[in-house]
Structure 1
């Protein structure tokens, strides 16, 4: 990367919310609480999907993958933000910035693809119920999840290399709370049109192909649901698919706003709060959205809590 006067480049300063010092303590408390709820909610989903045999299905396999993604995604940015909110030193090393961008972008890209894969799973469950277990067999589920991770991190590798090829000419103050593409591009001292076009093209592929897949899948799903004669069956199908659509709307809406708008329309303040939304709010509410009306998950939670609270009774029954 090109620098001024051949000086050594050691790292960046993440300005974060330093221009609003009165907000930093409030943000620290709120984000710490949100982060703890994110850890608790997503860990619970992962644990339940492994502990309860009734939840060892393709749907909950993908859901536990999504929860693991959310845990990692939040952890890649929020702990550092919490430290910076309570310290005057808001620096991050060059290598740390590269790693943070690579990991957070890889996890975000993987989630984009995984949400599309989950729509395919819902399509098979609702539109092909009699063949669901044959279509969505365990080997295919593992293959689809693995492909999501591979494509997500392949995209991250490409975009991370592209962004750090941009000459910064000694600029090192990032007006953001973590290393992300739009604020890093703002540091460039050259015309970034070519870089923006390349990143825009890749982002369109990563974002809109899964969105198209989700739209087509749910078109067939809605059609199939209205053919279900049982009102209880319709409610269950709408409840399960509605949860997925809510998560999709929250995640894709903020991601499209952050990555697919022209750079001259990009507001740093809006960008920071949008980034807060998809790095902490969405991962926190995802477990709530999936469990609030899901009787399988709430039933599994009650059974696990019963085992923990009455271990003697459980042991006696099993013997």
Structure 2
């Protein structure tokens, strides 16, 4: 019984850590809540084009997305499918405000590669002043700012009109399921931008890469927060996007929505089994 208690305590501690993260918005695209913000902050989405809700398949694209989110033990049964000009935006302008530190995360599966970029989430428009804040995406075959084809990249602006491009060598392939994320620590100019990627299809370990930045103060953009595009419908994502979470702090690796290492996942699975057994005994 002592070992069960240890497992139970470890699980509760891990889950509580995740729930204490400062979440601005969390889009899960589940049945009955396709456009809802699951964080409770009311930043619900509108949609353009015809994005659809798709049940997670048993094989192929999206089949390796986590069926149970390890950090919250919540079921994940569906994803958003977006193509062409499909995209999501805030229902009310300014609900998702990123003014300094943040982390952006998602599960993605890219259906095709193009010469242009494909944006995952953005608060960015190339229009009149104060419309640029941040944008997180995947570079096309021509790269971004001299970077690698298919590389994860981040755009940041200090004044709403300037553009800073940041990226590392972490690249994304089509028809592979990934967890991806990026965090920004405004005060840490030496290594304050960290990119994350985990190949879920091939059950690989989480990759991370940190770089410095020169952003003294991130612009509080007045653009509409979007999923699957930037600048209204520019550079749309093609494929599946799921479990989009925006936090107002640079999360540590243990707080991410990434699938944990096999040993940690076994611990959580064991804890869930113990909890289920205890519930049965008490019923």
Structure showing the higher strand proportion among its residues: 2
The two structures have a TM-score, normalised by structure 1, of 0.27
Structure showing the higher helix proportion among its residues: 1
Larger Rg: 1
The two structures have a TM-score, normalised by structure 2, of 0.30
